[in-house]
Amino acid sequence: MVKAIRVYRTGGPEVLKYEEAELAGPARGEIRIKHEAIGVNYIDTYFRSGLYPAPMPYTLGNEAAGVVTAVGKGVTGFKVGDRAAYVAGLRSYAEEANVPAEVAVKLPKGISSETAAAMMLKGMTAEYLLRRTYKVREGDTVLVHAAAGGVGLILCQWAKALGATVIGTAGSPEKAALAKKNGARHTILYRDEDFVKRVAEITKGKKCQVVYDGVGKATFPGSLDCLAPLGMFVNFGNASGPVDAFSLLMLSQRGSLFATRPTLNTFMAQPGGTASMARQLFRVVENGSVKIRVTQRFPLRDAAAAHRALEGRETTGSIVLVP
Ligand code: NDP
């Protein structure tokens, strides 16, 4: 038995139950990891609320890092005692979990379990957004919404390292200042200012090659209006709610725009996908071009408080649960 956050019905943070849960030995191809830190991601709130349906009951959470304590049959890449991190479907808000070895990665010496739990899901997301979805090039102007958030801070730093000029939106002056410290050349307080107008001013009418939008409903269709002809709208999240169906003519009217709604799962499922995204992420973190900020830690039992903070727009950077 392990202590875990279990979900029996969808709803607000109050549906998260901290209790004992069964955990069998690792099955063939799996490893068991004793968690030292657990990543909190906005997607966890979508499962909890029911926006993303899943069969219940389940243990919430998609990411954690720690030490391998058992190895299932057929696993060759890991041994007991290795430090590892993973991104995998519902299971991580727990003291320990079994995960398919193919989705786990060994941690380099310089990367702590806490840093790994704070960055694997968010950082691999930043990697595929910047390097595989729209390929950011030197000289591009990139708009990042919620620039001071977990994914946002990584996107700003990494896009800058790729040679882009980053414009970041943020919900408060403190968040805007943090985004500026982390790679955003310009910031916009999108709760007070018209971000479309400000992007036009900042770029002197040239607009952006790509918009990375994890906010969704509240920034649509404004995000489309921030794009130069042939630009790409990348809607990768729904922090304010999902973008509703829209007419494709909106893309032609603004200059042959591209629009995509990517997910990390698709990129992890490509041959060698997880390993290569993780490698690129470790490279930029180890060479210092991307710094991972853990801004709040909550005991595992207080996962509901972590969700309240995240959905209340009170957090910046990454937050983790400590078992
Ligand atoms: P964040 O730390 O970015 O938190 C969400 C932020 O969104 C808030 O801090 C807030 O910043 C902003 N926001 C804007 N409107 C709202 C609203 N109505 N309610 C709450 N927050 C709002 O979270 P993550 O870094 O975990 O995730 C960022 C986004 O990326 C999410 O949409 C998530 O689903 C998505 N994601 C998608 C993946 C994919 O592969 N498709 C993978 C990983 C994440 P501010 O106050 O500055 O506006």
With 0-12 / 13-18 / 19 or more C-beta atoms within 10 angstroms meaning exposed / middle / buried, residue 204 is exposed
Domains, the chain, ordered by start:
2-120+292-322 (3.90.180.10), 138-261 (3.40.50.720)
- With H, G, I as helix, E, B as strand and everything else as coil, classify residue 65: strand
d(CA 144, CA 129): 11
CB-based contact 74:29 (threshold 8 Å): yes
**Is-above-0.95 flag for pTM?**
yes
d(CA 200, CA 198): 5
Q: Ligand 1 pocket, 240 CB below 6 A?
A: yes
Q: Dig out the tokens for 167 from the structure.
A: 């414009």
Strands 141-144 and 96-100, by their bridges, are unpaired
Ligand 1 center to 111 CA (angstroms):
24
Give the number of the atom of ligand 1 that is nearest the alpha carbon of residue 150. 25
The whole-number pLDDT of residue 311 equals 98
205 Cβ neighbours under 8 A, 6+ residues apart: none
**Which of 42, 217, 261, 294 to probe ligand 1 with, by most ligand atoms within 8 A of CB?**
42
Q: Dig out the tokens for 271 from the structure.
A: 């041959």
CB-based contact 254:224 (threshold 8 Å): yes
**Which of 41, 63, 144, 240 to probe ligand 1 with, by most ligand atoms within 8 A of CB?**
41
Name the residue among 80, 82, 84, 85 with its Cα closest to residue 61.
85
The whole-number pLDDT of residue 84 equals 98
Terminal Cα distance for the chain, rounded: 14
**Which of 51, 132, 156, 215 to probe ligand 1 with, by most ligand atoms within 8 A of CB?**
215
Q: Dig out the tokens for 108 from the structure.
A: 């380099």
- With H, G, I as helix, E, B as strand and everything else as coil, classify residue 33: strand
61 Cβ neighbours under 8 A, 6+ residues apart: 5, 38, 39, 40, 44, 90, 91, 92, 93, 94, 321
The whole-number pLDDT of residue 177 equals 98
Ligand 1 center to 22 CA (angstroms):
32
Ligand 1 center to 308 CA (angstroms):
13
CB-based contact 148:178 (threshold 8 Å): yes
With 0-12 / 13-18 / 19 or more C-beta atoms within 10 angstroms meaning exposed / middle / buried, residue 313 is middle
Q: Ligand 1 pocket, 256 CB below 6 A?
A: no
Q: Dig out the tokens for 243 from the structure.
A: 């973008």
The whole-number pLDDT of residue 168 equals 98
Q: Ligand 1 pocket, 315 CB below 6 A?
A: yes
Residues written for the chain: 323
**Which of 122, 130, 151 to probe ligand 1 with, by most ligand atoms within 8 A of CB?**
151
Q: Residue 16 has what DSSP assignment?
A: E
Closest residue by Cα to atom 16, ligand 1, is 240
The whole-number pLDDT of residue 78 equals 97
Closest residue by Cα to atom 9, ligand 1, is 313
Tens of pLDDT along the chain (323 residues) come to 999 999 999 999 999 999 999 999 999 999 999 999 999 999 999 999 999 999 999 999 999 999 999 999 999 999 999 999 999 999 999 999 999 999 999 999 999 999 999 999 999 999 999 999 999 999 999 999 999 999 999 999 999 999 999 999 999 999 999 999 999 999 999 999 999 999 999 999 999 999 999 999 999 999 999 999 999 999 999 999 999 999 999 999 999 999 999 999 999 999 999 999 999 999 999 999 999 999 999 999 999 999 999 999 999 999 999 99
